Structure 1
C-alpha cells in the first residue's frame, strides 16, 4: 500500500507519516502543497490513496480536492481536516472523495479507515454525520445527504435483506456467500450506520432512505 500525504503542517506530516510508515506493508510519501502532489502524479508516481489537507496555501476550500479529482488518472483521495464540519465532509463525498478524516481521529481508527478506503470502500465518521444532519432540523433532507455514505452494491444487498428480517444464514444462502462473510458485512454496516444491533440498523437505514 502506497500513500501520499499532502499537508502544509510539517509536524503533522512527519508524525502521521512516521506512524503509518511503521505499519506493515505501508509506504509513505509526503508533500507540503497541492501543486507538489500533482507534480508527483504527473511524473508517473503511483499511489493507492491520497490524504489531502482541507486547508493549505493555494487551496480554496474544496477547490483543491476538485482540481485533484478532475485530473485524469488520479488515485482515490480522502480529505483530512482539523476544523471542517460534516457539511464540508458531505460536500467532499459528493465531489467524489474516497472519504473524510478528522485530524483528531485515534491512530488505530485512522489506520483502519485508510485500509478500508484502499480496499475500495468510502469512509465517513457516521456518528458525526448523523449528529450534524440532526442539527440541520428537517429529516426530509436526510435521504439526499445520506447518499454520501455510498454503500457498495453488496452492502446494499445485505442491508436490504437485514431490513427484511433475514438471518445471517438466510442472507448467505440467498446471496450465495459464506455466513462469516455476511457477518463481516453486517459488522461493517453497523459501523457505517452507527448502529449497535440489527433492529437499530434497519431503523437508521429506513430513516436515511437507504432502504
Structure 2
C-alpha cells in the first residue's frame, strides 16, 4: 500500500510517518504543501490514500481537497487536522472525502483508519458525525458508525459474509470491524457481543 501524507508541520508529519511505517505493509511519501502533494500525485502515484492537512499552505479550506478529488483517476483523499469543526468534516464527507482523521487519534487507531479508507471505507470519529439515535449510550460512543452497523448484523445473527454483502464490504474488512468492536465493548465472541448490544437496547 502506498499513501501520501501532506502536512506542513515537520515534527508531526514525521511522527505520523513513524506510526504508519511501524505497522508494516504501508509505504509513505510526504509533502509540506498542497502544490508539492499535487506534484507527487502526478509523478509518483497511484496512491491508495492521500491525507491532507486541513490547515496547510495551499488548502484554502476545502478547495484543496476538491482540487485533488477532481484529478483524473484521482486517489482516495481524507482530511487530517487537529481543529476542524464538525460542519467542515461533514462538508468534506459530502464533497467525497474518504474520511477525517483527528491528529489526536492513537497510533493504532490511525493505522486502522488508513487501512479502512484505502480499502474503500469511510472513516469519521463517531463524535464528529451528526448524532444518531444510538449515540447517547456509552457503548455506542465507543464505536464508529460502521462498527455499529456490523454490531447490528451480529445482533441479528448474520454471518460475516452476510454482513459484508449487506454493507457492500469485503469479508476481511468486516472481520477487522468485528475484532475492533469486540475489544471496544469487552466481548469475546459473537454471542456475547449480541447480548451486550441487546442489553444496551442499541437495536
Shift of 1:122: 0.6
Moved >4 Å (runs of 4+)? 158-162, 180-183, 188-191, 200-203
- Of residues 156, 168, 174, the one that matches 1:166 is 156
Structure 1 partner of 2:77: 77
Structure 1 partner of 2:9: 9
What are structure 1's unaligned runs of at least 5 residues? 140-148, 204-211
Shift of 1:63: 0.9
Shift of 1:43: 2.0
* TM-score, normalised with respect to structure 2: 0.70
**In 1, Cα distance between the equivalents of 2:11 and 2:145?**
33
**In 1, Cα distance between the equivalents of 2:19 and 2:176?**
28
How big is each residue's C-alpha offset from its partner over 1:137-157, in whole Å with a ceiling of 9 and x where there is no partner? xx8xxxxxxxxx996xxx97x
Compared CA separation, residues 84 and 77, structure 1 to 2 (3 A):
same
Q: Give the 5 Å matches for 1:76-115.
A: 76-115=76-115
Shift of 1:54: 0.3
Structure 2 partner of 1:198: 197
How big is each residue's C-alpha offset from its partner over 1:101-157, in whole Å with a ceiling of 9 and x where there is no partner? 00011111111111111121110101x135x648xxxx8xxxxxxxxx996xxx97x
Compared CA separation, residues 81 and 184, structure 1 to 2 (3 A):
same
Compared CA separation, residues 91 and 201, structure 1 to 2 (3 A):
farther
Shift of 1:184: 3.5
- The RMSD of aligned alpha carbons is 3.6
Shift of 1:23: 2.4
Compared CA separation, residues 24 and 185, structure 1 to 2 (3 A):
closer
Structure 1 partner of 2:122: 122
Shift of 1:201: 7.6
Structure 2 partner of 1:27: 27
Compared CA separation, residues 159 and 21, structure 1 to 2 (3 A):
closer
**In 2, Cα distance between the equivalents of 1:173 and 1:100?**
26
Q: Give the 5 Å matches for 1:40-51.
A: 40-51=40-51
Compared CA separation, residues 201 and 38, structure 1 to 2 (3 A):
farther
**In 2, Cα distance between the equivalents of 1:72 and 1:181?**
29
How big is each residue's C-alpha offset from its partner over 1:13-55, in whole Å with a ceiling of 9 and x where there is no partner? 1111122222211111000111111112222522111010001
CA contact (8 A) 2:113 2:123 kept: yes
